[in-house]
Every structure is written in structure tokens, then in C-alpha cells.
Amino acid sequence: MSENAPDTLVKALQNPELYDHPVKDFRVIETHISQVLLTGDYAYKIKKPMDFGFLNFSTLERRKHFCEEELRLNRRLASELYLDVLPITGSPEQPQIGGAGEPFEYAIRMRQFNQGELFDRRQERGELTADLLANVARQAAEFHDSLPPIADDHPLGTPEAVYAPMQENFDQVRPLLTDKALLTQLDALEDWTRTTFERHRELIASRRANGLVRECHGDLHLANITVFNDKVTVFDCIEFNEPFRWIDVINDLAFLLMDLESRNEPALANLVLNTYLEYRGDFEGLALLPLYKAYRAMVRAKIALFTMGNPSLNEQEREELMQRYRGYAQLAENYGAIPNHYLLATTGLSASGKTCVSAAMAGELGLIRLRSDVERKRLHGLGPLDSSKSGLGEDLYSPEVTEQTYQHLANLAGDLLASGASVIVDAACLKEHERNLYASVAENQGVPFALLHCEAPEQLRREWVRKRKGDASEATEELLDAQQSWFEPLTTEEKTHTVHLHTEQEHVAEAVADRIRQHLGLAPAQ
């Protein structure tokens, strides 16, 4: 099909008689690589005969192949949206969908959804909720777990393959800049990217060897997530370029985190990250997140500069694109900042609000949250919401397993602190030696440490236990009764680095977060 034929075809397809279903109206969504014809209940996506090097739809055979790939790949996460690939026969002037004869084009048939439900639109309206993003994080974790690892003899996912597109960003951006300050910033970003990559080269290689390079989504950002039939649905993954989707799973997640952070949603990004970690436990990958997020930000920055080359743009539009470049380049630079990291740990009886406080603190301060309830189960092959069927003080809640869990949390916290992350441990820490364990971790890493003693009225705690659902905690009222005698009062030494929180009060976590910022000289909340 010629380059002009798509327009002719899409016009001709706007005929209700061509369809085996009712047509409400016709609307066309156009991108640089496709045209999507909306009919009311169904959408028909046609690929343009374009060749950009990294994407080649120039022949009918290629367009058929990539339509089938798009169907295959997207049905992994969006099976209700992606229906089939249909041949278009006849001619661009008089087409037939699924008719007899030799096809001259192909279309992907999808169920149409409300564009207002897209997550980028929701975010712009202030309607992107924590529950929706927690759902995305859980899906991403389960999706990544379900994927087979890359074959050993496959060329992608090696350190060299990972670094190549990062370097390409800088090589393509540099000729498009004239401002000396921006060029200086770009040089610094390139140097940081190269040195950070070299520092993590062995980790990148070992993660590939351990099966963590997989056929991912590749384009996981807010504009590719919607709600369809009351289900959070991730769609439009990368079908046209294998190197863009055969990547480390943490690189896949990095795009969504960067997208949220670029929209000034750090707390929601933190929620996505910590929820993902609860389900996958991929703490090792955290060391690579700054590198991958900076890479994703520079891709967005590059696209802004490329778009400025459109001769039809006016001066205001060009200025907006340049501001977009500056914003993404600054975000990439921020990812290279040396963190001022520290360790927090909770202490308190069950249902005293530790989980709520630790989640709020993590969002406020950008912390990695380690939950004893989650890690205890993970150590025994259970998911966060699986029931252990353990009795009081038995099985997963025996003293031996509790000690094992606390040591595991301490080891994790130490590793994360060493990688530059700040951490909050969500655990009861009822005994002095348990609390001292985390104080020792902080001391060994040379970072500040604080205990958060969470308290709440007994009646309220019992009410929380009775009503709690959809959470990793398995606390019961029987446990509440037993714990009264287990709690060892804070020592005089412990009290010097303890903050007391009455969790039934409003905004208590935010207030404590502000105190910690002031104490550590961190930037105030925006």
C-alpha cells in the first residue's frame, strides 16, 4: 500500500455497511505509525507503511507480522481488549473487512474504551488513586513473574545491549542543542550514565544470567493503562522492536516510576515500587533503578527535541517542547544525586497502625518499605495475601521463624542502605534485642536511625483487627491479648532515638516525616 493509501482507506472504511456490528459513529485517532478507527464498541487499528529503522512497517508482509505480534503480546495483559487480526480485501477505495480475495492490508480489531479512563488523563484530573496504581503494580509483578527468561544465546539483555540505547540518546540529543548550559548538563549526564553503568556492569550481567531479562511490556507508562469493564488494563506494549521489550524486568517498571515522578507524583511512584516489591521481592534490582529511570527520562527528553523539528509548529509550541526537554533532563540529573539515606523501624503491638504509618512515611520520604508480614510469608513460599494457617506462636509465628524473619529483614535493610536507599522496617519489634538488631544495622552502615513507636487505644486496635481484610497481616484478637506480656519497654538509650506516634490522630505520619526532614536536613515536601 502506498503512503497516501492509508488516508484513502480510512475514509472508505467510514461506512457502517462494512461492519457486522452496529456503528455509533466514526472517529479517527492518528499517530505517526498508525491510524485507529473508532466505531463505538470496536476499534480498528491499521499500521502505516513507515520505515524508521527501529520500526519497519514498509511491506504488507511486515504489517501482517507486526499486527499478529501486537495481538500476541498484548493479549498477555489485555485479552479482553485485543480480539483478532482481520484481512482487508478489495481496494483502498472499496475495501472489505474480512472479505474474500487477496488482502492488501490488515487491521487489529479491539474493543473500544473510554479515552477519559486512561491513567494519564486521570492523573491530569487528580483522579489517579492509590488503589488503581497498587492494582497496576500487582499486575506488573505477576506479569513479570510469569514470563520465561531470555535464552542464553539471545543477543539482547547483555551489558553492551543495555548501554547502547543509553549512549544513542546522548549522541542524538547533542546536535540538537545550542545552549551551553544544556550542553554542559548533557555532558555531565553522559558521564554519570557511563560511570554508573560500569559500576553496575556485573550486576546487569548476573541478572541476565539469572533469568531476569524477559519479554516485557516495554512501554509501561500512564497513557497505556486504562480501566475497561471495571478492570485495570495495561495495553499497547512494544511489538515492533525486540530490544525495546527484551529487557530487565526492573527496567520495565522504571518507565512507570519515571512517568509518575515526572508528573510530580512521588508518593504514588513509591506506592507502585513498594507494592511491586511486596509481590516480587526483587530488592536486588533497586540498585539499577536510578540508571534505568534516567534512561527513560532521556528518551522522553529526546522525543521532545525531535518533535521540535516539525515545521508546522509555532513559536509557543516550540518553547513548550523545549521546556519539556529541560524538565526531563533535570529529572534525569536528579536521579544521579547522592542520597542522604537512613533507617527507620517501627515498634508497637499488632493493629497499632504500624502498617498505615510505614506506608505513609514511605510515600512522604521515598523509602523502601520492608514488612515483616510479607517477608515472613515469602521465606516460606507464600504470597502477601496467602493464608499461612498458622496458630498463635506456631508454624510461621514460632519464635524460631520470627527470629529468622527479623534477621532476614535486617540483612535486606543493610543491603538496601549500602546501595543508597533509605528504608523503613514495618515490624512489631516488641523485644529489645529485635529493636537493637536494626539499630546495629544502621550503625554498621553509618546512617541515622530512629524508632517509630506506634500506639493506639485497645478498643480501636480490636476494631481494626476485626475489620482488616486484603492485607498480609494475620493478627487476631487472641494475638492482641498475648502480646501484652511480650512487649519489653523501651530502654533509656532507645528513648533517645524514638518518636512516639498516636496513630489514631490525623496526619500523624506527615508530621513525623516533616520532623525527620528537618532533623536530617532534607528538602521539604512539595
Cell numbers that stand for 212 in this block: 531476569
Coil vs helix vs strand at 373: helix
pTM recorded for the entire structure: 0.93
218 closest CA partner among 196, 195, 236, 191: 236
What is the CB-side half-sphere exposure of residue 71 using CA atoms within 13 A? 20
367 closest CA partner among 220, 473, 520: 520
pLDDT digits (tens, 9 = 90+) for 9-31: 999 999 999 999 999 899 999 88
pLDDT digits (tens, 9 = 90+) for 294-322: 999 999 999 999 999 888 899 999 999 99
Please report the pLDDT score of residue 1 as a whole number: 52
Report how far residue 135's alpha carbon sits from residue 227's, in angstroms, rounded to the nearest whole number: 11
Task: Write out the residue limits of the CATH 3.90.1200.10 domain(s) in the chain.
Answer: 119-334
The b/e string for 231-259 (b: 16+ C-beta within 10 A; e otherwise) is ebbbbbbbbbeebbbbbbbbbbbbbbbbb
Amino acid at 454: C
Task: Write out the residue limits of the CATH 3.40.50.300 domain(s) in the chain.
Answer: 343-520
Task: Write out the residue limits of the CATH 3.30.200 domain(s) in the chain.
Answer: 5-112
Please report the pLDDT score of residue 201 as a whole number: 98
Q: What is the CATH number of domain 119-334?
A: 3.90.1200.10
Q: What is the CATH number of domain 343-520?
A: 3.40.50.300
Sequence-distant (≥ 6) Cβ neighbours of residue 251 within 8 angstroms? 162, 216, 288, 292, 295
Residue 23, φ and ψ in degrees, nearest 5: -115, 120
Please report the pLDDT score of residue 53 as a whole number: 83
Distances (CA, A) of 25 to 21, 38, 43, 234, 301: 12, 8, 11, 26, 37
Report how far residue 41's alpha carbon sits from residue 22's, in angstroms, rounded to the nearest whole number: 8
Residues of the chain with pLDDT under 70: 1-6, 525-526
- Is CATH 3.30.450 correct for 5-112? no
507: left (phi over 0), alpha (psi -120 to 50) or beta: left
Alpha-helical segments (H) within 308-393: 315-334, 354-365, 372-378
Decide if 53 contacts 31 (C-beta within 8 A): no
